[in-house]
């Protein structure tokens, strides 16, 4: 791998030493990295990626270099995670359900999961509303700043794109969300990665397998068991690449920031969102301690690689395979619970997103439509932010699209919508990274609580490494 130039070797003695030093340094670095825990490696990758992004931002041609030569490695990583998400959900849920041997447990699990999800989301929205109404981040914004932001972002492609997507969502009938759960062609659902349709199909298959004689069910159950094991191993292998991928992803995020002045003007608003998100994390840690009696620090340590990836990718859907791997193998949640709770959570449970939507909606109203800030409108926000977070796709900036629907539900003037979105657009990406981290942490927390309540939480999870059986294969 480390090619030594033979010409230099013979003609310039000094170069030989240089090469040897580099070689030695890389060797030491390599053996040091082998001992470092995964979450530290990812963190190092993130910090270096941020630093690299800043450096590239300040050199001529740096942005183009990152876009052409660095970003693709982040994209490849996300593609790989998406590649395995569908088989993973399918296999772990079908295998899990067929292991349950008890249909009443499935009902219990479904009911508990949905109720806790709705409960935590409502708490998130209320925390958001309390913060934004107390701090009032929009109250002191000068007309000058508003004009500046308006001029810069009102016609921005990102803003207009969100408005178009929101109008598509709005035109759907009241029961469209329900219809969308039932697929007519499962291969289409695989192609579209429609999480809820795939979950429905897996439940349908799992329950039907439970209802046929065991001997007949066995080949299929074994097949899905084997598929599940294999995909889990793929997660381990993909994660070997994670520290480099987050480097690429974060360098790319940094080169997109250009107007630091506007970012600073939105600092109070952004701090409200960040403060609320931190409170949600604290709330999850209390839940973990109280309901599962596990140490919150242990929980954070085990789940941190998934959190760091959620932060780097801004997508709970892309993070899902890693969340599943961490929750099953490191937190000790049984497959039948994680296979259901986590994919459902990635789709409908977005506490970070709902908190953000509540704060962003009120902030926008404080700045450009203060007359709309009535108590009854805030109650409407509670309800619509709940529905909007359920309806938000688990992809970057989906929360901002659904924010339009929250604003429309309180009668926000349509002509002000582009300005409203323009106001928060500059800080949306960093806030998206943080709310996605909270979304993923919330799913993991609920999966532990549901597992504990069903007696499906292992005391000592067995961690599997990518090379557990490598030696015997070699």
Contacts to ligand ASP by CB under 6 A: 314-316, 350, 353, 392, 394-399, 432, 435-436, 439
Residue with smaller CB distance to ligand ASP, 353 or 409: 353
Residue with tokens 């007309």: 143
| Nearest distance from C-beta of residue 227 to ligand ASP, angstroms | 25
457: three-class secondary structure by DSSP: strand
Q: 199-233 burial by CB neighbour count: b if 16+ within 10 A, else e?
A: bbbbbebbeebbeeeeeebeebbeebbebbeebbb
> Which residue from 355, 360, 371 is spatially nearest to 138, judged by alpha carbons?
360
Q: Check: CB of residue 303 under 8 Å from CB of residue 441.
A: yes
| Nearest distance from C-beta of residue 154 to ligand ASP, angstroms | 21
| Nearest distance from C-beta of residue 330 to ligand ASP, angstroms | 21
Q: Check: CB of residue 294 under 8 Å from CB of residue 302.
A: no
18: three-class secondary structure by DSSP: helix
Residue with smaller CB distance to ligand ASP, 307 or 315: 315
Q: Check: CB of residue 429 under 8 Å from CB of residue 397.
A: yes
Residue with smaller CB distance to ligand ASP, 252 or 353: 353
Residue with smaller CB distance to ligand ASP, 96 or 442: 442
What's the Rg (C-alpha) of the chain? 24
| Nearest distance from C-beta of residue 293 to ligand ASP, angstroms | 29
**What are the backbone angles phi and psi of residue 89, rounded to the nearest 5°?**
-60, -45
| Nearest distance from C-beta of residue 310 to ligand ASP, angstroms | 7
Residue with smaller CB distance to ligand ASP, 320 or 457: 320
333: three-class secondary structure by DSSP: strand
| Nearest distance from C-beta of residue 180 to ligand ASP, angstroms | 18
| Nearest distance from C-beta of residue 117 to ligand ASP, angstroms | 14
Find residue 470's DSSP bridge partners: none
| Nearest distance from C-beta of residue 314 to ligand ASP, angstroms | 5
The residue of the chain with the least Cβ separation from ligand ASP equals 399
Residue with smaller CB distance to ligand ASP, 98 or 319: 319
- DSSP letters for 379-413: HHHHHHHHHHHHHS-SSTTHHHHHHHHHHHHTT--
Task: Name the burial class of residue 30, with classes exposed (0-12), middle (13-18) and buried (19+) by CB atoms within 10 angstroms of its CB.
Answer: exposed
- Alpha helix stretches (DSSP H) within 136-193: 143-153, 157-170, 176-179, 186-192
- Alpha helix stretches (DSSP H) within 288-334: 296-313, 316-325
| Nearest distance from C-beta of residue 291 to ligand ASP, angstroms | 23
Residue with smaller CB distance to ligand ASP, 141 or 272: 272
Residue with smaller CB distance to ligand ASP, 129 or 388: 388
Maximum Cα–Cα distance across the chain: 82
> Which residue from 426, 435, 455 is spatially nearest to 158, judged by alpha carbons?
426
Residue with smaller CB distance to ligand ASP, 126 or 373: 126
């Amino acid at each position: 791998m480390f090619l030594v130039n033979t010409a230099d070797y013979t003609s310039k003695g000094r170069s030989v030493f240089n090469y040897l030093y580099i070689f030695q340094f890389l060797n030491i670095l390599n053996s040091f990295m082998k001992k470092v825990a995964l979450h530290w490696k990812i963190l190092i990758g993130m910090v270096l990626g941020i630093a690299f992004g800043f450096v590239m931002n300040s050199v001529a041609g740096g942005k183009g270099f990152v876009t052409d030569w660095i970003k693709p490695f982040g994209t490849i990583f996300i593609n790989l995670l998406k590649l395995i998400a569908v088989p993973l959900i399918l296999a772990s849920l079908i295998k899990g359900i067929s292991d349950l041997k008890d249909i009443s447990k499935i009902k219990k699990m479904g009911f508990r999961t949905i109720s806790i999800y709705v409960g935590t989301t409502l708490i998130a929205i209320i925390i958001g509303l309390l913060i934004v109404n107390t701090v009032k981040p929009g109250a002191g914004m000068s007309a000058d700043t508003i004009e500046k932001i308006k001029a810069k972002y009102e016609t921005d492609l990102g803003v207009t794109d969100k408005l178009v997507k929101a109008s598509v969502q709005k035109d759907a009938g009241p029961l469209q969300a329900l219809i969308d759960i039932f697929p007519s062609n499962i291969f289409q659902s695989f192609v579209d990665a429609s999480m809820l349709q795939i979950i429905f199909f897996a439940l349908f298959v799992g329950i039907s397998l439970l209802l046929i004689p065991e001997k007949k069910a066995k080949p299929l159950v074994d097949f899905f068991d084997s598929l599940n094991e294999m995909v889990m191993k793929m997660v381990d292998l993909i994660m070997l690449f994670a520290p480099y991928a987050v480097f690429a992803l974060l360098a790319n995020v940094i080169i997109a920031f250009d107007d630091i002045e506007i970012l600073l003007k939105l600092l109070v608003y952004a701090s409200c969102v960040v403060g609320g998100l931190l409170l949600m994390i604290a709330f999850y840690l209390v839940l973990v301690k109280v309901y599962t009696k596990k140490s919150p620090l242990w929980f954070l340590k085990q789940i941190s690689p998934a959190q760091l990836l959620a932060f780097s990718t801004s997508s709970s859907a892309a993070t899902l395979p890693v969340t599943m791997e961490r929750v099953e193998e490191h937190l000790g949640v049984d497959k039948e619970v994680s296979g259901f709770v986590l994919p459902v959570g990635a789709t409908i449970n977005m506490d970070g997103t709902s908190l953000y939507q509540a704060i962003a909606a009120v902030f926008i109203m404080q700045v450009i439509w203060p007359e709309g800030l009535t108590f009854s409108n805030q109650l409407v926000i509670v309800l619509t932010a709940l529905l909007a977070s359920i309806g938000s796709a688990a992809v970057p900036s989906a929360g901002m699209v659904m924010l339009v629907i929250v604003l429309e539900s309180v009668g926000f003037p349509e002509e002000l919508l582009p300005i409203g979105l323009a106001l928060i657009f500059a800080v949306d990406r960093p806030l998206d990274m943080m709310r996605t981290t909270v979304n993923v942490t919330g799913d993991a927390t609920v999966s532990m609580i549901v597992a504990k309540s069903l007696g499906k939480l292992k005391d000592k999870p067995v961690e599997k490494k990518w090379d557990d059986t490598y030696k015997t294969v070699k």
